[in-house]
Amino acid sequence: MTRRDARAIERSAVVEARRTQRTAAAVERRGARAATRSWGARRAFGAVAGGVAALGILAASIAPVVTSQVAEASQDPRASTYAVAADEAQLFAASAEGGTIAALSAVTYEAELRTPEPEPEPAAVPDEDGGDSSEGSAPAPYQPPAPYTGGGSPAEWMSAAGIAESDWGYVDYIVTRESGWNPNATNPSSGACGLVQMYPCNKAGVNSRDPVANLAWANSYAIGRYGSWAGAHAFWTANHWW
């Protein structure tokens, strides 16, 4: 046998040994995989079996309770637990003397409704002059002054009212246009009255239809508001009132 042949045989032996090792390793790996799969299947089966068993135990423990509740619900409402509790609920009152407890089958109440009596109205207190001073009493209606029936002339009236003769022309101008020298003249709209149409008619506190009293008030009004009868005349001519 030559050296070349020996080497060829040696190479063939090495190749065959390696092939054998690879085949053995592959077989070993397949065996390990199969074992792992088998163990996983056994574990899964064990878990499922345990769950089914636990579910069965739980169902066995709940079934009696559910059955009793269904049976109670199907009974006559008057015999249900609620009805029995309602029938047994009672009111008790303690006796003041013996300290015993007595059941009350029924309790009734009576209420008395009273209508409040109206408060009396305060009595009216008379004034010193005999009048009624109670609150809410209506004031006496306004009574216009009595008509003037005395005589006299404008000059006499102005003189008696204390008006300076130098102002008589201004007074005559205003009074002629206000009342026409009629002591009883009354404005139907405003109620102003008298020679100078005093407003309100009782403003002077006297009989404003009295020509002397009316002119006396007008004299103080003209001087107090316009400074003089001349000023009052100037205002009247510009505004047609004063």
Q: Following DSSP, what letter does each residue of 62-124 receive, concatenated?
A: HHHHHHHHHHHHHS-GGGSHHHHHHHH--EEEE-TTT--EEEES---------PPPPPPPPPP
Greatest mean pLDDT range, 45-54, 85-94, 188-197 = 188-197
| C-alpha count within 13 angstroms, C-beta hemisphere, residue 50 | 6
Least confident of 99-113, 140-154, 180-194: 99-113
Compute the Cα dihedral for 176, 182, 186, 188 and give only its sign: negative
pTM comes to 0.43
Confidence of residue 137 (pLDDT cuts 50, 70, 90): low
Is the confidence at residue 77, as pLDDT, over 60? no
What value does the mean pLDDT take over residues 215-241?
96
Buried b vs exposed e over 98-129: b needs ≥16 C-beta within 10 Å?
eeeeeeeeeeeeeeeeeeeeeeeeeeeeeeee
| 25-58 pLDDT, tens digit each | 888 888 777 766 666 656 656 665 666 566 666 5
Tokens at residue 79, please? 């015999």
R_g (Cα) of the chain, nearest Å: 65
What value does the mean pLDDT take over residues 1-19?
78
> Which pLDDT score, from 0 to 100, does residue 241 have?
92
Q: Which residues pair with 91 in a beta bridge?
A: 104
DSSP 8-state assignment for residue 206: S
Is the confidence at residue 101, as pLDDT, over 60? no
DSSP 8-state assignment for residue 167: G
